[in-house]
Amino acid sequence: MRRGGTIFIVVGVLLALGTAAVAYVMLAGRGAQPERTEATPTPETKVPVVIALQDIPAYTDIPADAVGTREIPESKLANHLLAPEAIVGRRAARTILRGSFIMADWIVDPEAVAQKGLNASLNIAPDREGRSRVAMAFETSELLGVAGAIQNGDFVDILISYHFTDREEEQLAPAAPASEECPIWCPEPTDILVAQLLLQDTEVYRVGPWLIPTPTPVPEGEEAPAEEVEEVQPLRSNTLTLLLTQQDALVVKFARESGATIDLVLRGRDDHTSVRTETVTMEYVMTRFEIIPPTQPLRYVPVASQ
């Protein structure tokens, strides 16, 4: 019995050792397998976009200190502008609130508005004193409009002259036969001319009409003709658009409809000086330039050339 029991004990130990060896091999094999790791996502590229650092009122020029940049993911880039240099000095086409990303269609180039005939209201800004202005059409002529020298963005002064008639001046003899209107005699009207500077430093918004030509449609299957490069010529038109305060627009309207002769004179590009002038009459001319009148000056007036 003792010998048989010993055999059973030895066999049990061998089985236990074998089982342990198999388990060790299996566990060691599993440990040798590489661990699975998730792929690290590539960081998204960021781009700088323009942001408003302060409120920018509509139709005002954008100063450099009003804008800055902020980086955003490239996937979120839409209609933003990429650099402050792209908008500084240009004009806001709408009110831009502080903290807003500035879109490309929120600004407008002042020169492009006038040159290309874009929406005129996008470029009507207040004057140097902060007064609001309106655009007013004005018709002139070759002679009264500086011979066609006026261009977009120029500044002009507006001169007017009136012919005043005195119908009650006493005369020594009848100047016309008696009639129902003049039972005794009719005095001959005396024409008096006066001239004065009406408005100063008025901005010319645009030369010519604001009609944008509609491009001719190209039939399907045909190529559009190549654009011809034309030599840039000065703008010439007797129709001008002026920028005026509401009150000055009324002044021009009254002068135009009350029969005044209106001339435009062109200012130097950087000349915005205000001047004070004296009304010019025949008496002013004769006194200043020492013109000797006839012996009876009240009876003689200059006759306009035909």
Q: Which residue did the predictor score with more confidence, 262 or 46?
A: 262
- The most confident of the ranges 4-8, 175-179, 246-250 is 246-250
Mean pLDDT of the 196-219 span: 79
Is 240 inside a domain boundary? yes
Sequence letter at residue 168: E
Query: Environment class of residue 264 by beta-carbon count within 10 Å: exposed (0-12), middle (13-18) or buried (19+)?
Result: buried
Residues 248 and 203 both lie in one domain: yes
Q: Which DSSP symbol is given to 10? A: H
- The pTM for the full model equals 0.58
Is 257 inside a domain boundary? yes
Residues 98 and 200 both lie in one domain: no
Domain count along the chain: 2
Q: Is the pLDDT of residue 230 over 60?
A: no
Q: Is the pLDDT of residue 111 over 50?
A: yes
Query: Environment class of residue 79 by beta-carbon count within 10 Å: exposed (0-12), middle (13-18) or buried (19+)?
Result: exposed
Residue 223 confidence (pLDDT): 59
Residues 99 and 155 both lie in one domain: no
A 10 A CB-CB count for 150 gives 22
Tokens of 158: 């507006």
Residue 44 confidence (pLDDT): 79
Q: Identify the residue whose tokens are 């240009």.
A: 90
A 10 A CB-CB count for 202 gives 25
Q: What is the residue-averaged pLDDT of the chain? A: 79
Q: Is the pLDDT of residue 36 over 80?
A: no
Residue 304 confidence (pLDDT): 62
Q: Which DSSP symbol is given to 80? A: B
Is 263 inside a domain boundary? yes
Q: What is the pLDDT of residues 295-304, one digit of tens each?
A: 765 666 666 6
> Which residue from 185, 176, 157, 181 is spatially nearest to 277, judged by alpha carbons?
157
Residues 100 and 154 both lie in one domain: no
Is 21 inside a domain boundary? no
Q: Which of 57, 92, 108 is the last residue of a domain?
A: 108
Residue ranges making up the domain that contains 62 = 46-108
Is 172 inside a domain boundary? yes
First to last CA, the chain: 161
Q: Is the pLDDT of residue 178 over 60?
A: no
Residues 286 and 157 both lie in one domain: yes
